[in-house]
Structure 1
Amino acid sequence: MSQSTILIVDDHPENLTVLGELLCGHYRVRAANSGARALQLAAQQPVPDLVLLDIMMPAMSGYEVLQRLHAESATRDVPVIFITALDAVEDEQRGLALGAVDYIAKPLHPAIVLARVRTHLELKRARDLLRRDNAALEAEIGRRMHENQVIQDVTIRALARLAETRDNETGNHILRTQEYVLTLARLARALPRFAAALDERSIALMAKSAPLHDIGKVGIPDQILLKPAKLTAEEWAVMKTHAALGAAAIDRAVADMREPVEFLAYARDIALRHHERWDGSGYPGGLAGEAIPLPARLMAIADVFDALISRRVYKAPMPMEQVREILAAERGRHFDPDLLDCFLAHYDEFCAIARRHPDEAGSEAGIVAATRAAG
C-alpha cells in the first residue's frame, strides 16, 4: 500500500516542526504556513489524503481554507482535521458544520494526534474503496443494461424483418416509420394536449415498439399479401386480420414472460390499433378520437405517409406534394387533427427522413422518384 500524504497547515513554524517530526516517520508530509500556500500544495499531485489545519491564521482563516478546499472537485473529498487553541463549543460546532471531520485542541498530545490521523486515514481508504467499487459496479450494470438493450433492439428488428420478408417490397419501411414516430412524438410534445403523455421515456418506448406494427402480416397468405391487383372483399377481410394477429402474438409473448414488459404494451397498442381512424371508420375495433391509443395515432400518420411515397406491388410511389394534399384531406377523418397539423408543419423533416432510408435495390427508385416530383 502506498504511503499516505498529509498536509499540515499552521502559521507558527514551531507547530509545523512538532507536527512534521511526529508524522514524518509514518507518512509523507507537506507543510504550509498560510492558507494561500495550503491551497497551492493541496492542488498538487498526489492530492493529500488528510489535512491538519489551524484555524487562527492571518489573511485567510482555516474556515476559509476549508470552504475553498470543498469548492474544488479535486479536494472536496479530502478529510480535514482542525487543530486549534480555540476551546469554545461554538468554534468546534462551526468547524464541524463546515465539513471538518474532527477537531483536536492544542496543546497537542502525540498519541492522540497519531490515533486520530490513523483513524481518519483508514476511514478515507474505506470510503475511496467503496467509491471505486460502486463506480465499477455502476459501469458493469451500465454495460449489461446496454448489452440487454442491444439484444432487445436486435430481437425487435429481427421480428420486424421477419414480417417484412413476407412483403419484400417494403424495404426500409420499418426504419423510416420508426424515425417518423420518434420525430412526430417529440414535435407533438410541445403541445399542451400531449405534453404529459409524451415524456422522453414514453417517446423512446413508442419508437422502440414501432417496428412491430405489422408483425401480424406473417399470418396473411401470400396470395393475398403479395397480390398485385385490388383485393376482393373476402381477401380484404383476411388482410385486416393482421392487426389482431400481431396483437395476439405480442400477448402470447407477454404471457410467456410471466411479467409485464413496458414497451410491449405500446407495441400491442400500435399493432392492434394503427389502422383505426379518428372518425371511427377504421379497423379492427372502429375506435374513434381519443379512444384510439396515442402511439397508434402517431403510427397511423407514419404508416400512411410512408405507404403513399413508396412503391408497392399494387402501386407506384406518389409525389410528396400530392401525398401532402392527401394527408391534409384526411385531417379529422383518418388522422388526429393536432398530430397531423404538427406533421404537416414539419413536412420537410419527414421527407428528409425518407431520403435518408431509401429502399434496397429494386425499389429505391420509388422514394427518389417521389422526392424529385416534390422538388
Structure 2
Amino acid sequence: MDVHHRAIVLVADGAPAQRAQLGALLHDQYTLREAGDGAAALAAARQLPRPDLLLLEATLPGADGLDGHGVLEQLRACPDTAAIPVLMLVDGGEPQAERRAWQGGAADVVQRPLLAEALQARVATHVKLRRSRELLRHQAGLVEHLVQERTAEQDQMVEAVIWALAALAESRDHKTVNHIRRVQHYVAALARQLQPQPRFAPELSDANIALLFQAAPLHDIGKVGIPDAILLKPGRLTEEEFAVMQRHTIYGRDAIAEVERHLGRSTTFLRYAREIAYSHQEKYDGTGYPQGLAGDAIPLSARLVAVAAVYDALISRRVYKPAFTHETALELIRQGSGEQFDPDLVDALLMVEEEFLDIAARYADVVVDNGTTAPAVAS
C-alpha cells in the first residue's frame, strides 16, 4: 500500500442524510466512497483499490439478510477483504447489536448519536493501524526476499564447492562429472521410494533427502589421497595395494571431520557426507571395509550410496571392464541382496528401475576417439 495516498474510507449507511453527515466529518482528510445497501457495500469493498476502512451501519438495508452484520460476515470470509478494518455503527442502547458486531470481527463499534471528535479520532487511529500493518507486512516480505536471496547464494556457493571437490576426486580415476550426477539422482530416487516405510521414514524427510542428494557426490573424495599407480592400475590389486586403496574411506572421513572441527559443530549435511565417505564400502553382511559394519550399523546414507554407486559402476565402461547392461547390473545387485546390499534397498531399486534407466540416459557419457569417456550433454 502506498503510504502517501489519501486513505479510502467507505461509508455504508442506508440513510442519505446520515451518509452526508459522515462525509462532512471525513471528506477533508479521506477519499470517500458511499453505499446505501448491503450489495452496494460489498461491491464497493471489493473495488480496487480496496478501501482502507469501512464505516458500516449495523441496520444497513439489504436483500436476503445482507444487513451490516451480513456484510461484515462476508467481508471476513473473503481473503481479499478480510483485513479491511470495519467500524460498526450501532444505535445507543442496543447491546445485542454491539455484542454481535464484536463477535463478527468488527475492529471497533461506534454508538449513535455520534460524537464527531470521537468518530474522527477512531477513524484516524484505525487508518494508521491499517497502514502500519501494511508497512510491516511489506518490510517482512522484503526481509524474507533478502534472506531467500542470501540463502540461495550460499546454497550455490556450497554446491559449487561440493562439485569442485567431487569432480576433482572422480577425475583421479578418469570418471566424469556425470558419474556423480547419476549417483546423486539414483540416491534420491531410492530415498523417495523408501520414504513411506516405517523403517526409513524417520531419517528420510524431504529435507534430509535433499541433503543426501547434495552429499552423495562426495562419496569418493578420499581418492585424492591414493597414489596414481594404485588408483589407475588396470589389473588386479595386490593385498598391499588393496589395503592402500581401502584408506580412501578414511581420508574422506577425515577431510569432512576436519571441516566439522573447524566449524566447531556438525550439520546434517556434513554428517551425511562423513558417513558416506567413510562407510559406502561396507557390506550388509559385515564383510566390507573399513570397519566391517553389518546391517543397520551401516549408516543409511552409506547404504543408499553403495547401491547407487555399484549400479553406476556396473553400467559404465572402465579401463578394467566393459559396461554391463541394465538387466545384468540389476541381476548382479539382486544376487548381492542380504550380502553386499540391504535387501530393502535392493527391492526399492527394482521398484524404480525405470527411473534409474531415465537417469542413466539423461546423464550418459560418450566414448571419444581416444577411447576415454566424456560427459554427454544432459537434456
**Per-residue deviation, 1:86:** 4.7
Cα distance in 2 for partners of 1:172, 1:291 equals 30
* Whole-angstrom CA distance in 2 between matches of 1:259 and 1:171: 30
User: What is residue 42 of structure 2 aligned with on the other side?
Assistant: 39
Note the C-alpha offset of 1:276.
0.5
Identify the residue that residue 201 of structure 1 maps to in structure 2.
207
Contact kept, 8 Å, 2:90 with 2:97, in 1: the verdict is no
Match of 2:112 in 1: 106
Instruction: Identify the match of residue 28 of structure 2 among 21, 25, 28.
Output: 25
**Distance of 1:367 and 1:148 partners within structure 2:** 27
| 1: CA distance, partners of 2:221 / 2:92 | 77
Q: 2:18 aligns with which of 10, 15, 19?
A: 15
SS of aligned partner of 1:127: helix
Tell me the residue number matched to 1:223.
Answer: 229
Equivalent of 1:324 in 321, 330, 334: 330
Which residue identity is paired with 1:100?
A
Counterpart contact for 2:167–2:176, Cα < 8 Å: no
Task: Give the counterpart letter for 1:342 in structure 2.
Answer: A
Q: In the alignment, is residue 254 of structure 1 matched against residue 257 of structure 2?
A: no
State the one-letter code of the partner of 1:29.
Answer: L
2:38–2:68 contact (8 Å) kept in structure 1: yes
**Following TM superposition, by how much is the alpha carbon of 1:169 offset from its aligned partner in structure 2, in angstroms?**
3.0
TM superposition shift of 1:366 = 10
- Aligned residue identity for 2:127: L
Aligned-partner SS, 1:172: helix
Give, in whole Å, the separation in 2 of the partners of 1:57 and 1:88: 15
Matched, 1:147 2:153: yes
1:50 aligned residue (45, 49, 53): 53
Change (3 A) 1:289 1:367: farther
| Correspondences of 1:1-375 after superposition (within 5 Å) | 1-59=4-62, 60-359=66-365, 362=368
Equivalents in 2 of 1:140, 1:367: separation in Å? 36
Distance in structure 1 (CA, Å) of the matches to 2:92 and 2:232: 91
Select between 288-297 and 254-263 the one with higher mean Cα deviation.
254-263
- Which residue in 2 is equivalent to 1:373? none
Contact conserved, 2:8 with 2:32, CA < 8 A, in 1? Answer: yes
Q: Which amino acid aligns with 2:30?
A: Y
Q: Is the 8 A contact 1:317 1:366 kept in 2?
A: no
For residues 41 and 191 of structure 1, what CA distance do their matches in structure 2 show?
54
| Structure 2 stretches lacking a partner, 5+ long | none
Question: What is the alpha-carbon distance in structure 1 between the residues aligned to residue 69 and residue 372 of structure 2?
Answer: 71
**Change in CA separation of 1:42 and 1:15 when aligned onto 2, cut-off 3 Å:** same
Task: Tell me the TM-score normalised to structure 2 length.
Answer: 0.93
Identity of aligned residues (%): 44
| Number of equivalenced pairs | 368
Letter in 2 for 1:305: Y
Mapped to 1, the partners of 2:187 and 2:196 lie a distance apart of 15
> Is this contact kept in 2: 1:317–1:367, CA < 8 A?
no
What's the CA shift string for 1:280-335, capped at 9, x where partnerless? 00000000001111111111100100011111121111122111111110010000
SS in 1 for 2:365: coil
SS at match of 1:282: coil
Q: Given the two structures, how large is their TM-score scaled by the length of structure 1? A: 0.94
Contact 1:171–1:360 (8 Å) recurs in 2: no
Secondary structure of the structure 2 residue equivalent to 1:195:
coil
RMSD, matched Cα: 1.7
Once the two structures are superposed, what CA deviation does each residue of 1:169-209 show, in whole Å capped at 9, x if it has no partner? 34411100000000100011122321222111111111111
Bigger mean CA offset, 252-261 vs 291-300: 252-261
Q: Which runs of 5+ in 1 are unaligned?
A: 369-375
> Structure 2 CA distance, aligned partners of 1:215 and 1:309?
21
Preserved CA contact (<8 Å) 2:12 2:60: no
Task: Work out whether residues 35 and 57 of structure 1, in 8 Å CA contact, stay in contact via their aligned partners in 2.
Answer: yes
* C-alpha distance in 2 between matches for 1:115 and 1:324: 77
Of residues 309-318 and 281-290 in structure 1, the stretch that sits farther from structure 2 once superposed is 309-318
Shift of 1:346: 2.1
**Do 2:366 and 2:374's aligned partners in 1 also have CA atoms closer than 8 Å?**
no
Say which SS state the counterpart of residue 285 (structure 1) adopts.
coil
Residue identity matched to 1:310: S
Q: Is the 8 A contact 2:194 2:348 kept in 1?
A: yes
Q: Aligned with 1:52: secondary structure?
A: strand
1:74 Cα offset (Å): 2.1
Kept in 2, the 8 Å contact 1:171–1:359? The answer is no
Please say if residues 173 and 231 of structure 2, whose CA atoms lie closer than 8 Å, have aligned partners that are also in contact.
yes
1:135-165: CA deviations, max 9, x gaps? 1111111111111111111111111011122
- CA–CA separation in structure 2 for the residues paired with 1:196 and 1:270: 18
The 3-state SS of whatever aligns with 2:114 is coil
